[in-house]
Amino acid sequence: MGSQQPLRWSQILVAVALLLVSVACQAPAAPAPPAPSPVSARAASEQPAPTTDVSPAARPLDQVRMADARVLASAGIYVALEKGYLREQGIDLQLEPVAGTADIVPFLATGDLDLALGAIGVGLFNAFDRGADMRIIAPAGIMPLEDSVLPLVVRKDLVDSGQVRTPADLRGRRVAVNVRGASVEYVLSKILDRVGMTIHDVDIVSVPFPDMPAALVNGSIDAAIPAEPFATRSVDLGAGVKLVREVIPGQMTTAILASGKLLRERPDVARRLVLAYMKAIRDI
């Protein structure tokens, strides 16, 4: 043993390195991931592609033209505009001022107007009977059981002087409605019927609702059927008195009308408009 040479440090390091390499070569290889089964591969291929739907608010706005008589029955539309519910549904609503439905039925039937808040009256029934291309898509105004939104308002000076105490005293006098042959004329006929008169017993003139308070002030008419808020406006001006407040309680007087063209070519626009309108009605 005395004749053996001591190992050098370089020889020890080489031996350790060779041992480590040998151990590494003998270690088992990591298992390969299993191949997907035919069932799982098919399920993966059937997964729906990522949706590309765009919310109504993110789409370009659809322009819609609607006739507007500027009355309380349009409150749902005004609230939907003011609170942005229509724009949420991707609709740019353009209001076109009109005196009444009877004036716009031809434009609605041809598609020159998309929508209208229409009075339910003889003019509308005649239009349907002639095959006018339009539809009712939502209710609007319903007469309250008391304090009608279409009262008979008489000039205050005629009431104060005693010249007009009941509707019977309007015989031969000038009474304003917004348009002839519409629901307001029907309301007047029901009021006169209570005292044994008809619309032929008064001098009916056509005056747009917003102009009725001024017409009572200047004396160009003796009475009127102004839709709210113009009835209350007439009273606030000191020009009129609500002589008859309860008329046809509970009856529906107005509805939202849509042109057939809108419903055929852009039915989704009509659907989204009604959604916005109903949201506003719930607020009211």
Tell which wins on pLDDT, 196 or 143.
196
Least confident of 105-109, 134-138, 272-276: 105-109
Averaged pLDDT, 121-146: 86
Quote the CA–CA distance of 9 and 260 in Å, as a whole number. 101
pLDDT above 70 covers what percent of the chain?
79
**Residue ranges per structural domain of the chain:** 57-142+252-283, 152-244
* CB neighbour list of residue 172: distance below 8 Å, 6 or more residues apart: 201, 202, 203
Q: What distances in angstroms separate CA 255 from CA 93, 94, 232, one per listed residue?
A: 17, 18, 23
Angle between helices 122-129 and 101-110 (to 10 degrees): 20
Quote the CA–CA distance of 204 and 222 in Å, as a whole number. 10
CATH superfamily of 152-244: Periplasmic binding protein-like II (3.40.190.10)
Tokens of 199: 């619309």
Averaged pLDDT, 2-26: 43
> In this predicted model, what pLDDT tens digit does every residue of 163-207 receive, in sequence order?
999 999 999 999 999 988 778 898 999 999 999 999 999 999 999
Quote the CA–CA distance of 281 and 171 in Å, as a whole number. 40
**Scanning the structure block, which residue is given the tokens 């993110």?**
58
Give, in words, the CATH class of 57-142+252-283: alpha beta
Angle, CA of 72, 232 and 118, to the nearest 5°: 25
Tokens of 105: 């039925």
Quote the CA–CA distance of 230 and 212 in Å, as a whole number. 7
Identical fold at 57-142+252-283 and 152-244?
A: yes
